[in-house]
Amino acid sequence: MKNAARYRSEHIGEQLPSATRRQVLRGLSAAGTVAAIGPLAGILGARTATAAGDKGVTLSMSGGSYMSSWQREIIDPFQKLTGIPVTVVPGSFHTHAMQLRASHGAPPFDVFMGDGYDAVNLIAGGRFLPLTADKVPSINDVYDKFKAPFGGYAALIDYASVGLAYSTERVKKPPTSWREFIDRTAAGDFDKKVFFNGFPGARGPEVLMTLSRVFGGDDKNVDAGFEAIKRIKPHVFKFFTSFNAPVELLLSGEGDIGPGWDGRTYIAHDESHGKVDYIAPEEGVAAGGPILAVVKGGNVEGAYALVNYALGATAQKAFCEAMGYGAVNRKVVYSERLAKRIPSAEKAMVADDAFIAANLSKWVERWNHEIA
């Protein structure tokens, strides 16, 4: 329990509903000005003035270790290189998306970070500017699968891979594939100590589509995905909604196995001296991450500069080495340690965010009726 509590305090979930004043101050510009921004800034959408006035860039963000790593590995070097101050507004991705949709002529952010299926609707609403190579040269080095779904208006900043996280002390023969995990869970091999993604948060739709591909031959055959989850439901003790839940449940002893993220699990592996570990299933990993986009009507010049830097090989390597995630820039050369851990871009099964956006509401209804 002590290890789980410590992990929870140090690795707060990627999507936070609100921000404490300490989180806000930590995320503000290191270029020199701490603006007077309260804990409700992420909800109310107040733009924070900086010493550089309109030349500063405001970036929506999530929180926790993700935000602190972004600050240290991307924002701080960017500010030092360009002199452009960056203000981070932490909070819920979905709340930020609603906030941007509701803005009229004065967007709350210059650079939007959020979920892909929210981005699809924002693109349709004309909220973003295109990431053309003349404005964002590094876009040419991003793997197609991480940018093609957004029609040139957004790109993933990294890819975190959902595979299987498990206790090395209690699961001596872990499954090597999604199919084996589902079949053995349904057979009761792991008793009732299995955890699974909730819905729609914590990448629930992406995992649903991965199982749909494994059991139905097509990631859009969601009937097969729902049937797979219904098979294991009697043995799932928790459908989690926090990105940190898999590691917390493993470290506390409450859970033995379930879907988990590569980077977070490997951090916990190292900090717990190998008590937890990660498996990249043979069929591939459910890969996803937040997108970056330049907001129409904001500080366009500064926004393009930040996005270009963030997608470049230098920033990608620094951030992904810190977080244990995969880089979307094909020029990144991982350290030997990380190269052995990160599922390759080829194994990354990236869900169709437009398909998710079009079907999410009915999937939620179906989940509440059949699973929850």
Dihedral through CA 181, CA 182, CA 188, CA 189, nearest 10? -10
Hey, where are the domains in the chain? 12-158+289-341, 161-286+348-370
Q: Is the bond leading into 107 cis (omega within 30 degrees of zero)?
A: no
Tell me the per-residue pLDDT of 292-333, one tens digit each, with 9 for 90 and over: 999 999 999 999 999 999 999 999 999 999 999 999 999 999
Kindly provide the b/e burial profile for residues 256-272, where b requires at least 16 CB atoms within 10 angstroms of the residue's own CB. Answer: bbbbbbbbbbbbbbebb
CA distances from 164 to 40, 93, 134, 310, 372 (A): 36, 25, 40, 29, 21
- Which element (helix H / strand E) includes 64? helix 64-70
Q: Report which residue type is found at 107.
A: P
Query: What's the one-letter identity of residue 359?
Result: N
Residue range 249-272: mean pLDDT, rounded: 95
Q: What is the mean pLDDT of residues 79-90?
A: 97
- Of the candidate ranges 40-44, 77-81, 226-230, 259-263, the one whose mean pLDDT is the lowest: 40-44
12-158+289-341 and 161-286+348-370 agree in CATH topology: yes
Q: Span 12-158+289-341: which CATH code?
A: 3.40.190.10
Architecture in CATH of 161-286+348-370 = 3-Layer(aba) Sandwich (3.40)
* Per-residue confidence (pLDDT) for residue 105, from 0 to 100: 80
Q: Is the pLDDT of residue 7 over 60?
A: no
| Cβ proximity of 321 and 341 under 8 Å | no
